[in-house]
Structure 1
Amino acid sequence: MVDPGKVVDLIKDARDRRTVPLILELDLTDGLVETAPADPLTAILSIRRTHLRDVLDGLRRARTDSRVRALIVKIGSGIGLAMAQELRDAVRAFRDAGKPTVAWAETFGETGHGTVPYYLATAFERIYLQPSGDVGLTGVSLEEPFFKDALEKAGVSPRFAKRHEYKTMANTFMENAYTPEHEEMSSRLVASIGEQITAGVAEARGLTEEQVRKLIDRGPLLADEALDAGLVDKLGYRDEVYAEVRAQAGEDAQLRYVARYNRAHSLTPRLSRPRQDVIALIQGHGQIRLGRSGRSPMPGQGNAMGSDTIGAGFRAAVKDDRVKAIVFRVNSPGGSAVASDAIWREVVLARRAGKPVIVSMGDLAASGGYYVSVAADTIVAQPGTFTGSIGVVVGKPIVNNLLERLGIGVGSVEDGAHARMFSATKDFSDSEWERINTSLDRIYDDFTAKVAEGRHMSREQVHELARGRVWTGADARRHGLVDELGGLDLALDLARKKAGLATDAPVRVFPHTAPLDRLRPPESSDDRTAARARLDAWGSLSGLANRLGLPASGPLTLPGSWDIR
């Protein structure tokens, strides 16, 4: 028999969840996920991770929700610079709505990276720090390894060609120090990021930029030193921080994670038109390749942006008459030139069909990541986004000496003058170099022509900004390579305006497949299930996979790790 008292308690609890005051909280210890992984296995493995869209949508909704009394965020070190700037924008808008915001941390970089986490914290009204913590505001640096001497000792001879002098991937293997152009580019990247962080901290904490630079040069600062310098507002442990926030918000206020708050509202049935107009959101993350998007289960391998999957998303959005504009989120170092071109074409076709396309760049949208963006109506990037890298590089290692030292012999037979052109056990012949240089010239000319067309520049203007050079979003906007500085929220707002939709017009992810669709075979290449993402089994064995004929990253790739944390 059902206990009537328990039924009453359940009803009261459900009512309270809809009416009681709320303190929203967010834990950034493990960072944020840009988007839910498309392949089922990785989606299950990351089901507990917080998604950026949930946070942005939740904070936007909470600005006008009278139940939400405050926001408290635990700052961690797993956030890249552009994402930190995205969160800073969202927090500032929340503050502008008159709601208290509190950032707290056990430490901003315990013998590690603390500059970007602290920079993020300065967007909040108050900053709390555990008494044993530090403020690792130590500035910005970029370290880049050069393997020329090591490869020679190992018996490996790199063979690369590039367009042009700022396309630095080849330098990694063919030089033992910076070239003048490489050093110039890297120095400007670091200077631009330093300028952004210094200006942001100074404005937020009521200091001059000169004062902030002096504090950076003193860092890392102990908790008491940071308090005296005005970098934090109070020292305290978690219980003390939460007690003060509760005292301000009301003792009856309940804690609720921002993502849970947003999803609870998203699941609430809303009265809307059956055929409501929407903005399509297409997510492009990771190395660009031919075929389907996916993700490797191996640590550190990350996402892959497949031209088939992204193309299917654009075609579905174009075909859907409810979609009035498209936002293409790009977070990629590039990859295959052919795949990048296929995605570029889908952007062009979407615009021809009358659907405005707005690109929103994440932490990184360079080389092929810029290629797929350049045909959009508007490109939006954060000041700290790394973009550009308009150039191309092709090459291979020659491993004969290494194999000889290991006692490995290689036999080969061939039919065709260039049959072993990309073999790692054969150097390029003169005629093969001629073919490589012809290909590089064609790719570079095509790339720069598309940039000139998309950005309304002359080829000469584009070449001055291209040559493989990487820019921050702030510098890219100054040079006309991007249009607006901001994040995903700004891109969605611009899309709504271009489409003439209301400011709260809904967003729908494309391509979208229902769970049952994943189980049925596709009927044709136009079927939405045909381009569903796949799980990559090769991971760190991608080199071997490539030898077996499977696709690897392509010539439009930004080398190295470009996160500023």
Structure 2
Amino acid sequence: MDLRALPIPGLRSIPGLAPRGPRAVLELDLGHGLRTGPPRHPLEALRARHAPSLRAVGDGLRRAAADDDVLGLLVHVGTCPLPLSVADEVGAMIADFSQDKPSIAWTATFGELTSGLNGYRLAVNAREIWVQPSGALGLTGVHLGITLLRGGLEKLGIDPEFGQRHEYKSAADQLAATEVSQANREMVQRMADAIVDDTVARVASRRSLDAADVRAAMARAPLSAADALEAGLVDRVGYRDEVYAHARRTWTPAWEPTYVHRWAQAQQGSASSRLGALHQRHRPTVAVVDVTGPIVLGAGSGSQAGADRIGARLREVGRDDEVKAVVLRVDSPGGSYVASDAIRREVLRLRESGRPVVATMGTAAASGGYFVAMPCDEIVAQPTTLTGSIGVLAGKMVVARLLDRVGIVTEAIDAGPRAGFLAPGRPFTDDEWQVLDAWLDEVYADFTTKAAADRGLDLAVLEPLARGRVWVGVDAHERGLVDHLGGTRLALERACGLAGLDPDDVRLPSPSSLEWLQRLRPAESSESPAARGRRGGGADGSRGGARATGRLRRHRRAPRGAVDAARPHLPRLMP
């Protein structure tokens, strides 16, 4: 007999024997997306107020799987506005929960004349999949495209001049090539094929189907709801009300729906959780450091990974004796070579302090993003993460013909033979091309040498995997560029394993949702926490001083149109 159901006076005061209220069925509504980090500015905080955090969902589902008062999980897939890597991470959370409790993933349709691959890859992790009778299963595969802009730019009077290392560095092709190269075509085709191969294997395993049957269904997609049911790709056809009625019939009628993150917040506010929080203060800490967005010199804006800001954060972590391990969360397409190298140095210094550092990659950790991840003890990537791209490109857009066409007269005033090296008003001279090529060779040699050393590979083995080529996570794993396939939870487990810690018995501080307010506080020194959000100013009180080279200021908004295209492209580690 459950004593909590008896009306005994004073029973509420006995821990663990409070009368049981309605049991819960958790809801996960992906229609508003998920937050993967704290808001970076007030507007983003306002937009994200209805979106739960990825971490809150994961923590809630892990706790709910062991709670007898939670009956099951209902996942509204909706349009699934999540990047593929995030959808896979959420899918893994659902799969873990579904090992212990029933779960249903439902949606009106997996794509309406569009691909529903992201949402369906997530849904197959639930025990049951429902789709509306008028819906469909758009398991149509992966469509990628290659766009070359040079022809259009030349018609405008803009002449791209770029160098790259090497043939797979497709960002340079996008601006400077006149036809799609075989290397670029090969790379993009393999990326699409790898995602399809992983999807087929994932669906076949989760749905207990033969891989050939899944491929045959993909060839017929989009499938109607009835056809998807007949193919064994969904379990039932029904509307939302029928999903909930089915759950009440089969799980028990006495339950109340509640969002996963709201349920988790309520649990954290309970008396037992408050006692647990007091105990947690004495647990070892695992710090999470984010490298999100293009990697730039300086502090960077809210949407950029500023080397100064990230370096200050890594040094702050290194000074905290309670931090026993670090997870470096990277979601970046790359950026400045020098900035990436500065962050790599701070990661190495953190490792020298005896703390293991494990990188976890999101949608992309390519080029500069890979540069900052490669010195970590281990690297975890999603199967669809875009990574590698070990290479470099640099150049400029020459707008001399455009300015002449519209009647704008400019005259360069240089002091020094190479002062106008990256000036957009004229093309490179032969001497300047030699300087640029020498610089690209130097950067490429440095990148590949450090990558080989960090990954414990001979340079002769690493270099053919470089050459600017972008790999998806599953291929990068096969070639030794990453160590494990998974998400943030696996990275935490690996970091704890290397530090000799129990991942369920560590303190994982949550980033403040008001972290952006730190930018308003003056820093006492470069080691102050406030320095992580600081933006520098010029001597005239502006946001930056003039550069002696005469280059356009990158941090100042330029007029729209041709002047934006005239910005010089410094050496970049971009896909």
TM-score above 0.5, yes or no: yes
Q: Which residue of 2 aligns with 1:166?
A: 168
Do 1:157 and 1:397's aligned partners in 2 also have CA atoms closer than 8 Å? Answer: yes
How has the CA–CA distance of structure 1 residues 520 and 242 changed in structure 2, closer, same or farther, with 3 Å as cutoff?
Answer: same
Letter aligned with residue 82 of structure 2: I
1:82 shift after superposition: 1.6
Highest RCO, 1 vs 2 (Cα 8 Å, sep ≥ 6): 1
Equivalent position SS for 2:263: helix
Structure-1 separation of matches of 2:299 and 2:18: 45
Q: Which residue of 2 aligns with 1:329?
A: 329
Query: Which of 210, 213, 218 pairs up with 1:211?
Result: 213
Structure-1 separation of matches of 2:119 and 2:514: 36
Do 1:542 and 1:552's aligned partners in 2 also have CA atoms closer than 8 Å? Answer: no
Query: Which of 64, 81, 88 pairs up with 2:91?
Result: 88
User: Any idea what the Cα deviations from partners look like across 1:349-392, whole Å, max 9, x if unmatched?
Assistant: 00000110000111111000000001000100111111000000
Find out whether 1:531 has 2:532 as its counterpart: yes
Farther-moved stretch of structure 1 (320-329 vs 67-76): 67-76
Letter aligned with residue 105 of structure 1: T
Query: Which of 151, 154, 160 pairs up with 1:152?
Result: 154
How has the CA–CA distance of structure 1 residues 517 and 424 changed in structure 2, closer, same or farther, with 3 Å as cutoff?
Answer: closer
Instruction: Note the 1:263-274 alignment, pairs <5 A.
Output: 263-267=265-269, 268-269=273-274, 270=276, 271-272=278-279, 274=281
Farther-moved stretch of structure 1 (61-70 vs 316-325): 61-70
How has the CA–CA distance of structure 1 residues 101 and 556 changed in structure 2, closer, same or farther, with 3 Å as cutoff?
Answer: farther
Q: Which residue of 2 aligns with 1:426?
A: 426
Farther-moved stretch of structure 1 (205-214 vs 515-524): 515-524
Q: Which residue of 1 aligns with 2:294?
A: 287
Q: Percent sequence identity over matched residues?
A: 41
1:540 shift after superposition: 11
CA RMSD of aligned residues (A): 2.9
Structure-2 separation of matches of 1:45 and 1:539: 27
TM-score, with length taken from structure 2 = 0.88
Structure-2 separation of matches of 1:228 and 1:512: 46
Find out whether 1:403 has 2:419 as its counterpart: no
How has the CA–CA distance of structure 1 residues 422 and 55 changed in structure 2, closer, same or farther, with 3 Å as cutoff?
Answer: same
Farther-moved stretch of structure 1 (505-514 vs 536-545): 536-545
Letter aligned with residue 558 of structure 1: M
Structure-2 separation of matches of 1:513 and 1:83: 23
Instruction: Note the 1:412-451 alignment, pairs <5 A.
Output: 412-451=412-451
Query: Which of 108, 117, 120 pairs up with 1:118?
Result: 120
Find out whether 1:373 has 2:373 as its counterpart: yes
Query: Which of 62, 66, 78 pairs up with 2:81?
Result: 78
How has the CA–CA distance of structure 1 residues 100 and 463 changed in structure 2, closer, same or farther, with 3 Å as cutoff?
Answer: same
Find out whether 1:481 has 2:488 as its counterpart: no
How has the CA–CA distance of structure 1 residues 249 and 511 changed in structure 2, closer, same or farther, with 3 Å as cutoff?
Answer: closer
Structure-1 separation of matches of 2:513 and 2:343: 18
Find out whether 1:492 has 2:492 as its counterpart: yes
Do 1:392 and 1:440's aligned partners in 2 also have CA atoms closer than 8 Å? Answer: yes
Q: Which residue of 1 aligns with 2:230?
A: 228
Equivalent position SS for 1:294: coil
Structure-2 separation of matches of 1:555 and 1:487: 31
User: Any idea what the Cα deviations from partners look like across 1:394-451, whole Å, max 9, x if unmatched?
Assistant: 0111112122222222222221122222122111112211221121112111111111
TM-score, with length taken from structure 1 = 0.89
Equivalent position SS for 1:60: helix
How has the CA–CA distance of structure 1 residues 135 and 337 changed in structure 2, closer, same or farther, with 3 Å as cutoff?
Answer: same
Do 1:155 and 1:402's aligned partners in 2 also have CA atoms closer than 8 Å? Answer: yes
Letter aligned with residue 284 of structure 2: D
Give the ranges of 4+ consecutive aligned residues of structure 1 lying more than 4 Å apart after TM superposition: 15-19, 509-519, 533-548, 551-554
How has the CA–CA distance of structure 1 residues 481 and 514 changed in structure 2, closer, same or farther, with 3 Å as cutoff?
Answer: closer
1:312 shift after superposition: 1.8
Do 1:361 and 1:385's aligned partners in 2 also have CA atoms closer than 8 Å? Answer: yes
Do 1:289 and 1:554's aligned partners in 2 also have CA atoms closer than 8 Å? Answer: no
Could you tell me which runs of 5 or more consecutive residues in structure 2 were left unpaired when the two chains were aligned. 1-12, 537-542, 545-552
Farther-moved stretch of structure 1 (155-164 vs 76-85): 76-85
Equivalent position SS for 2:414: coil
Equivalent position SS for 1:372: helix
Farther-moved stretch of structure 1 (513-522 vs 275-284): 513-522
Could you tell me which runs of 5 or more consecutive residues in structure 1 were left unpaired when the two chains were aligned. 1-10, 296-302, 560-565
